[in-house]
Amino acid sequence: MASNDIGDWYRGIPQMTKYWFTGSIVVPLVARLGLINPVHLILIFERVAYNFQIWRPLTAVLYFPMSGPSGFHYLMNLYFLYSYSTRLETGIFDGKPAEMAFMLIFNWLCLVIIGCAADMMLLMDPMVLSVLYVWCQLNKDTVVSFWFGTQFKAMYLPWVLLAFNMIIGQGGLLELVGIIVGHLYFFLMFKYPQDFGGARLLSVPNILYKYFPNRRGGVSGFGMAPSSRRQTPDNNGDNQRHNWGRGNNLGGD
C-alpha cells in the first residue's frame, strides 16, 4: 500500500515540476553513491567555455550535497521546490506547461550568467528561491506559516528565508541572487506590462508550445496575475497549516 501511495503521489506531480524534482534527486544521489565525482557537476566557467563541458550549467542547478551539514538544507530545498513549483504549475500556469517551462528556463539562464560572472558553483538555492519569489508575488496577501508558529504575508517569505540563512551561517548571497532573478522575471512578465502599461518584453518561444502544447482546463491566462491574491481552499474545505512557508487563506475555516 505504501508503495502504491508513493507511486500515486509521484504520478500526480505536474509535468515541469516532476522533471525538475526528479533531476534534483537523481543527480545528487548519483554523486552520493560515488558513481560520478561531484567536481564534474558544479559550474566552472573555464570548463564550460574552454573544455566544452556543456552539461555543467544544468547539473549545477540540480546538484546539492546530500550528506553532512548540508543534508537538512538539501531536504528543505526539495520541499520548497516541490511545494511552490507545484503551486505555480497548478495555479497561474495551469494547463500551460510551455509557459511554466519558459519561466524555469528564463530563471535558469539568468542564474547561469550570474553564476559564471560571480563564480557561483551551485545554483539549486537561488533557482528554488527564484520560483518561490514568483509565487509569493502572485499571492502576496496570502498568510504563510514559518517556524515556531510565526505568520506573515507571502510577500515577506523570501526575505525571511534570506535572513534565516544569514543567521544560521549560510551567508544569504545565493538567496539574494534568487530573489533578484525571480523579481526580474516577475517584473518583466507581469508588473511592467500590467502596472506600468509597458510592452511585453518576454514571450514564450513557439518551439516550447510545439513540445509542450497547452491543455484544456487552464484557470489563468498567460501574463495575467490572478484577480485575487488569496488561494482557494481545498475541496474538502479544510485549510491545514504546515511549517516552512505553507500558504493559508486569510479568514479560513
DSSP-assigned states of every residue in the chain: -HHHHHHHHHHTS-HHHHHHHHHHHHHHHHHHTTSS-GGGTS--HHHHHHH--TTHHHHHHH----STTHHHHHHHHHHHHHHHHHHHHTTTTTT-HHHHHHHHHHHHHHHHHHHHHHT----HHHHHHHHHHHHHHHTTTSEEE-GGG-EEEGGGHHHHHHHHHHHTTS-SHHHHHHHHHHHHHHIIIIIHHHHS---------HHHHHHS---TT--S-TT---SSSSPPPPTTS-----TTTEEE-TT--
Compute the average pLDDT of residues 150-165: 90
Whether the predicted pLDDT of 218 surpasses 70: no
pLDDT in tens, 23-77: 999 999 999 999 999 999 999 999 999 999 999 999 999 999 987 778 888 999 9
Judged by average pLDDT, the poorest of 1-5, 118-122, 158-162, 234-238 is 234-238
Whether the predicted pLDDT of 15 surpasses 60: yes
What confidence score (pLDDT) does residue 194 get? 77
Compute the average pLDDT of residues 184-207: 86
Q: Which residue has the cell 504520478?
A: 11
pLDDT > 70: percent of the chain: 83
Compute the average pLDDT of residues 160-187: 89
Judged by average pLDDT, the poorest of 51-65, 82-96, 161-175, 208-222 is 208-222
Whether the predicted pLDDT of 149 surpasses 50: yes
Name the amino acid, one letter, at 226: P
Whether the predicted pLDDT of 220 surpasses 50: no
Task: Report the predicted TM-score, pTM, of the whole model to 2 decimal places.
Answer: 0.82
pLDDT band of residue 236 (cuts 50, 70, 90) is: very low
State the Cα angle at 218 between 25 and 6, rounded to 5°.
Answer: 30
pLDDT > 90: percent of the chain: 64
Whether the predicted pLDDT of 175 surpasses 50: yes
Mean pLDDT estimate for the chain: 84
What confidence score (pLDDT) does residue 2 get? 57
CA-wise closest residue to 82 among 21, 127, 26: 21
